């Protein structure tokens, strides 16, 4: 009887993954994939099911229950991710999720339904494996018990040699546990070493004005008016604000990001690196804070995304120790945080102290339905409001269902968000700040795909097979009046031809470090004439013997904001 109950629970857990199995079969049922591919997947799935049954039939409780917990945890992680974003989890996604573990509260707030379903399935699996089996079972049970662990380890080895890919559609218990084992191996064997001290010496006198890096969140470069005729007001299109001449604004146009997920882009923007050496540099190189201190600058970090002192984007205590002023906005509503940042940033720009200031804005990460006040609801129709006003980011939101009618509403809400958090932000900043010779570099961590080509999907970025728009961001240099002509020339020459990799060496140059010393370590800056590959990294966490994967962005194929979203009778405007 207990055998029967166990088999029923195991079968139920497998059947609940039917949507992922079907989706995997659909991807395999193409002319490029031979029948052998379908047979191989079916055989691997059956083998994993045998292994799952074998673990459930283990006699020893002290072996059976730990395995039950491991398999159930793997199941919940994989299912929760896949059901929230509507895509498979691979090793890249797994590592990104682990690095974003501090955001579980926001994820639960947005994707409570998906996580609850994943938890229910995981509970079934926990009971299926953990409950004590009855005596007997015969030769079949004995064989399954002996094969259980070798099959799990064998799957881990298979995923290792495939760079963490290949588990799509398999039982989530085994794909999740295998990815966890790979990550444990990865952490245990990864190269470690002390973080290096700053070896370069500034070649220029100490700077007497501020250097600011504003890293916005999830801003699609083509959706701003500085880069598209149909773009949203950004406050960056001209030099006039409130009837007065504003700071110089030099638009480098569309640029490629480091990668299409927040963590990777942010860590490279803080630690530098080229496409060839970023993995070593972010692990052992000095941070931007260390370089600023060596150049005699104070250090300020304004974080609008997190509260309660939580770190993000792989920041740790050692990095925190190099930051003189570290501010979050716990008591400010999410919708108002970017404007609160503008106020605080203006204060630092006006205090007369030379500082490096790094800003992480709230920006336009989903959910976007409540990231703007109703006064800025210019673009209609839009998503229903009032669903997630207290959520900054993390996990899927806004009830994305993949239908074009829903994406139209989403794009309009996103436009309203940009109107408030980009246009409104810069209007507020320029009205208060005496920028003068200070230099502000503005970009976003990654771009967004809004499925303007009528392609399916529920996610906007950080997908296993990204659209080019996920790696396309704005790049603007503001201020630095003393070097106005030089920046104007560089922006004209480098428009739509640069990338995030140019920002770190640019900041070092502004601090006084010589380009001839910086370039061998961090590559050319924004003032250099060398061409940029115009690619972004779709496999930032390239480990397990795999290499980074670079996706080139053809400018003429970047989707432009469709006028038809909000203007009746207009054409889509999509290229």
- Residue with the larger pLDDT of the pair 61 and 391: 61
Model confidence over 531-552: pLDDT tens digits? 999 999 999 987 777 789 999 9
In 3D space, the residue among 305, 252, 309, 503 whose CA is nearest the CA of residue 421 turns out to be: 305
Pairing of strands 211-216, 550-552: unpaired
The answer to whether residues 385 and 370 touch, using CB atoms and an 8 Å cutoff, is yes
> What pLDDT, on a 0 to 100 scale, did the predictor assign at position 399?
57
Confidence at 391, pLDDT banded by 50, 70, 90: low
Confidence at 103, pLDDT banded by 50, 70, 90: low
Residue written as token pair 């106005």: 484
Q: What mean pLDDT value characterizes the chain?
A: 87
Rounded Cα distance, 213 and 206, in Å: 19
> What pLDDT, on a 0 to 100 scale, did the predictor assign at position 492?
94
What is the H or E stretch that residue 214 is in? strand 211-216
The answer to whether residues 495 and 123 touch, using CB atoms and an 8 Å cutoff, is no
Domain ranges of the chain: 2-189, 211-565
What is the H or E stretch that residue 216 is in? strand 211-216
CA distances, 73 to each of 115, 119, 174 (Å): 12, 9, 10
- Residue with the larger pLDDT of the pair 136 and 559: 559
pLDDT at 427 over 70: yes
Rounded Cα distance, 501 and 499, in Å: 5
- Residue with the larger pLDDT of the pair 37 and 282: 282
> What pLDDT, on a 0 to 100 scale, did the predictor assign at position 110?
54
In 3D space, the residue among 116, 118, 106, 41 whose CA is nearest the CA of residue 82 turns out to be: 118
Show the tokens assigned to 119: 């938890």
In 3D space, the residue among 505, 499, 504, 506 whose CA is nearest the CA of residue 550 turns out to be: 499
Question: What's the burial of 109, exposed, middle or buried (CB within 10 Å: 0-12/13-18/19+)?
Answer: middle
Residue written as token pair 């149909």: 230
Model confidence over 154-206: pLDDT tens digits? 998 888 877 777 788 889 999 989 988 888 887 777 766 788 999 999 998 88
Rounded Cα distance, 148 and 155, in Å: 11
- Residue with the larger pLDDT of the pair 183 and 323: 323
SS3 370: coil
Q: Name the percent of the chain lying above pLDDT 90.
A: 55
> What pLDDT, on a 0 to 100 scale, did the predictor assign at position 574?
42
> What pLDDT, on a 0 to 100 scale, did the predictor assign at position 40?
85
> What pLDDT, on a 0 to 100 scale, did the predictor assign at position 34?
65
What would the CATH number be for the domain defined by 211-565? Answer: 3.40.720.10
pLDDT at 246 over 90: no
- Measured from the Cβ of residue 16, the count of other Cβ atoms closer than 10 Å reads 18
pLDDT at 243 over 50: no
For residue 367, cis peptide bond before it (omega within 30 degrees of 0): yes
pLDDT at 108 over 60: no
SS3 256: strand
Show the tokens assigned to 456: 């399916």
Pairing of strands 535-537, 550-552: antiparallel
Nearest 5°: CA angle at 249, between 244 and 252?
160
Q: What pTM, to 2 d.p., does this model score?
A: 0.80
Q: Quick one: average pLDDT of 318-327? A: 96
Rounded Cα distance, 223 and 470, in Å: 12
Q: Sign of the C-alpha dihedral, residues 311, 317, 319, 324?
A: positive
Q: Residue 516 contacts by C-beta under 8 Å, 6 or more apart in sequence? A: none
Show the tokens assigned to 218: 């999830």
Confidence at 113, pLDDT banded by 50, 70, 90: low
SS3 388: coil
> What pLDDT, on a 0 to 100 scale, did the predictor assign at position 395?
46
pLDDT at 13 over 80: yes
> What pLDDT, on a 0 to 100 scale, did the predictor assign at position 401?
60
> What pLDDT, on a 0 to 100 scale, did the predictor assign at position 352?
92
Show the tokens assigned to 401: 């269902």
List the end-to-end C-alpha distance of the chain, in Å, as a whole number.
62
The answer to whether residues 476 and 250 touch, using CB atoms and an 8 Å cutoff, is yes
Model confidence over 139-155: pLDDT tens digits? 878 888 899 999 999 99
Q: Quick one: average pLDDT of 363-373? A: 89
Residue written as token pair 């998503």: 383
pLDDT at 122 over 80: yes
> What pLDDT, on a 0 to 100 scale, did the predictor assign at position 157?
87
- Residue with the larger pLDDT of the pair 401 and 503: 503
pLDDT at 100 over 70: no
The answer to whether residues 394 and 203 touch, using CB atoms and an 8 Å cutoff, is no
Q: Residue 420 contacts by C-beta under 8 Å, 6 or more apart in sequence? A: 335, 338, 371, 372, 373, 376
Model confidence over 307-321: pLDDT tens digits? 899 888 889 999 999
In 3D space, the residue among 309, 19, 57, 65 whose CA is nearest the CA of residue 172 turns out to be: 19
């Amino acid at each position: 009887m207990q055998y029967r109950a166990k088999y029923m629970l195991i079968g139920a857990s497998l059947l609940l993954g039917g949507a992922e199995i079907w989706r995997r079969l659909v991807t395999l049922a193409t002319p490029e994939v031979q029948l052998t591919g379908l047979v191989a997947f079916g055989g691997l799935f059956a083998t994993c099911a045998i292994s799952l049954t074998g673990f459930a039939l283990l006699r020893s409780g002290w072996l059976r229950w730990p395995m039950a917990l491991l398999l159930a945890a793997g199941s919940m992680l994989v299912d929760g991710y896949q059901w929230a974003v509507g895509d498979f989890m691979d090793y890249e996604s797994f590592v990104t999720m682990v690095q974003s573990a501090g955001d579980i509260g926001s994820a639960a707030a947005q994707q409570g339904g998906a996580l609850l379903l994943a938890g229910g399935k995981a509970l079934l699996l926990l009971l299926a494996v953990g409950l004590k089996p009855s005596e007997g079972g015969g030769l079949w049970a004995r064989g399954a018990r002996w094969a259980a662990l070798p099959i799990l380890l064998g799957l881990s080895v298979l995923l290792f040699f495939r760079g963490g890919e290949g588990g799509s559609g398999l039982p989530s218990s085994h794909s999740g546990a295998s990815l966890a084992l790979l990550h444990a191996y990865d952490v245990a064997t990864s190269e470690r070493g002390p973080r290096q001290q700053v070896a370069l010496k500034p070649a220029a006198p100490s700077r007497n004005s501020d250097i600011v890096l504003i890293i916005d969140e999830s801003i699609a470069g083509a959706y701003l008016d500085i880069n598209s005729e149909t773009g949203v007001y950004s406050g960056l299109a001209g030099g006039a604000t409130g009837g007065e001449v504003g700071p110089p604004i030099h638009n480098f146009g569309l640029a490629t990001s480091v990668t299409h997920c927040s963590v990777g882009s942010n860590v490279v923007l803080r630690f530098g690196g080229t496409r060839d050496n970023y993995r070593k540099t972010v692990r052992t190189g000095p941070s931007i804070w260390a370089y600023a201190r060596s150049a005699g600058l104070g250090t300020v970090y304004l974080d609008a995304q997190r509260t309660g002192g939580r770190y993000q984007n792989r920041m740790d205590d050692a990095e925190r120790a190099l930051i003189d002023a570290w501010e979050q906005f716990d008591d400010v509503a999410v919708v108002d945080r970017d404007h609160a940042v503008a106020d605080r940033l203006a204060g630092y720009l006006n205090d007369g102290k030379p500082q490096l200031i790094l800003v992480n804005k709230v920006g336009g990460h989903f959910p976007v339905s409540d990231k703007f006040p109703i006064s800025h609801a210019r673009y209609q129709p839009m998503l229903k409001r009032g669903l997630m006003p207290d959520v900054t980011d993390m996990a899927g939101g806004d009830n994305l269902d993949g239908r074009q009618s829903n994406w139209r509403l989403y794009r309009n809400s996103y436009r309203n968000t940009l109107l408030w958090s980009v246009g409104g932000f810069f209007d507020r900043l320029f009205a208060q700040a005496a920028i003068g010779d200070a230099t502000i570099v503005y970009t976003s961590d990654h771009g967004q795909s809004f499925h303007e080509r009528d392609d399916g999907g529920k996610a906007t970025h950080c997908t296993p097979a990204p659209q080019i728009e996920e790696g396309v961001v704005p790049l603007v240099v503001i201020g630095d009046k003393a070097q106005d002509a030089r920046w104007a020339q560089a922006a004209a020459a480098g428009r739509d031809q640069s990338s995030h990799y140019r920002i770190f060496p640019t900041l070092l140059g502004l601090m006084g470090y010589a380009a001839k010393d910086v370039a061998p370590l961090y590559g050319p800056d924004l003032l250099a004439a060398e061409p940029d590959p115009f690619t972004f990294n779709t496999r930032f966490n390239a480990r397990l013997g795999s290499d980074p994967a670079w996706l080139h962005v053809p400018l003429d194929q970047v989707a432009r904001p469709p006028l038809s979203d909000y203007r009746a009778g207009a054409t889509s405007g999509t290229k």
